Amino acid sequence: MKVGVAACPHWGAHNSVKRIVLAVGLALACVSSLAAAKVGSEALIEARQASMKQMAAAAKTLAGMFNGQVPYNAAAFRDAAETLRDRTGSLVGEFPSGSLGPLSGAKPEIDQDRRSFEALAHHIATLTTALAKEAANAPPKINGEMRMGPGTMMDGGSLLGKRTNAAEPDPATLPAEHLVHMILQDCTGCHSRFRQKIR
Ligand code: HEC
């Protein structure tokens, strides 16, 4: 350092230039790290929206197979169930604080009530895991075991909001069609609470 100063006759002038260069450099570094953060959260938002769209397509396929609007096929049934399982399994990590609010359809309330958000994410993941397990042995044609019996909705209670305090049945014991209904309810449940319309 001393050598540099001694060797430079116009040290003062150089020093202020250096300072400006340093300041500009710092400012640029700041701007670019802000930009990087913004690009980072934009990418994350786009990725989770794409993931939600995949879930929507999978859920539509499954519901369609049960109501006859989509031809049933064991492999496609399995694929859709696995997509739901995989996508719901990573939900929790996709909504960090900096990515909520007006930039996206994710409400800032997620941050204020992480427990409920995570409980919902965990609940749907439990159902989709059970569904994927059942789908692994999907028969060549939809059979009675996969179907919700008549009156299941009424007896199921949880679907109509009755017996809310009763313990939920073990998802592994529920027919696939019932699981699909419960999964769709969780989609709606989370959206009504934590999603806002953006477009
Ligand atoms: C735990 C909460 C939660 C669950 C469960 C959930 N979602 Fe979402 N979903 C959100 C939030 C929050 C957004 C807004 C995301 C954003 O814009 O960044 C969203 C957005 C979406 C979108 C719009 C994506 C876009 O392109 O903007 C679709 C479609 C969607 N969800 C479908 C589903 C389906 C189908 C399910 C059930 C299988 C489901 N979601 C389950 C919270 C949830």
Name which residue sits closest to atom 3 of ligand 1, judged by CA: 190
Q: Distances in Å between the alpha carbon of 196 and those of 43, 52, 98, 143, 183? A: 19, 14, 16, 39, 20
Helix, strand counts (H, E) of the chain:
7, 0
Q: Does the global pTM surpass 0.75?
A: yes
Domain region containing 53: 45-194
Tokens for 90? Answer: 């990573």
User: In this structure, is residue 28 part of a structural domain?
Assistant: no
CA of 1 to the centre of ligand 1 (A): 58
Give residue 36's pLDDT.
Answer: 61
CA of 191 to the centre of ligand 1 (A): 6
Measured CA to CA in angstroms, residue 175 lies from 13, 17, 126, 139 at distances of 80, 74, 14, 13
Place of tokens 């116009």: 10
- Give the residues across from 195 on adjacent strands: 106
The total of structural domains in the chain comes to 1
Task: Establish if 13 belongs to a structural domain.
Answer: no
164 lies in some domain: yes
In a domain, residue 10? The reply is no
Instruction: Determine if ligand 1 sits within 6 Å of the CB of residue 106.
Output: yes
Question: Does the CB atom of residue 121 touch ligand 1 within 6 A?
Answer: yes
- What does 128-150 look like in DSSP terms, one character per residue? HHHHHHHHTT--SS--TTTSPPT
**Domain containing residue 187: CATH number:** 1.20.120.10
For residues 87 and 8, what is the distance between their CA atoms, to the nearest angstrom?
63
pLDDT of residue 198: 84
- Our mutation pick for probing the ligand 1 site, out of 41, 52, 180, 192, counting the most ligand atoms within 8 A of Cβ, is 52
For the CA of 110, the closest atom of ligand 1 is 12
Nearest CA to ligand 1 atom 7: 187
Residue 11 belongs to a domain: no
Q: Is residue 165 part of a domain?
A: yes
CB of 62 sitting under 6 A from ligand 1 = no
| Cα–Cα distance for residue pair 131/80, rounded to 1 Å | 10
CA distances for 154 relative to 3, 9, 60, angstroms = 88, 92, 23
Q: Is 63 exposed, middle or buried (0-12, 13-18, 19+ CB in 10 A)?
A: middle
CB 182 within 8 A of CB 191: no
Residues 6+ apart with CB under 8 A from 26: none
Task: Specify the pLDDT at position 129.
Answer: 98
CA of 165 to the centre of ligand 1 (A): 27
Whole-Å CA distances, 180 to 58, 95, 110, 146, 156: 10, 24, 25, 10, 13
Residue whose CA is closest, atom 24 of ligand 1?
Answer: 49
What percentage of the chain exceeds 90 in pLDDT? 65
pLDDT in tens, 72-104: 999 999 999 999 999 999 999 999 999 999 889
What is the band of 164 on the pLDDT scale with cuts at 50, 70, 90? low
Residue 150 lies in a domain: yes
Domain annotation covers residue 9? no
Question: Does ligand 1 have an atom closer than 6 angstroms to the CB of 104?
Answer: yes
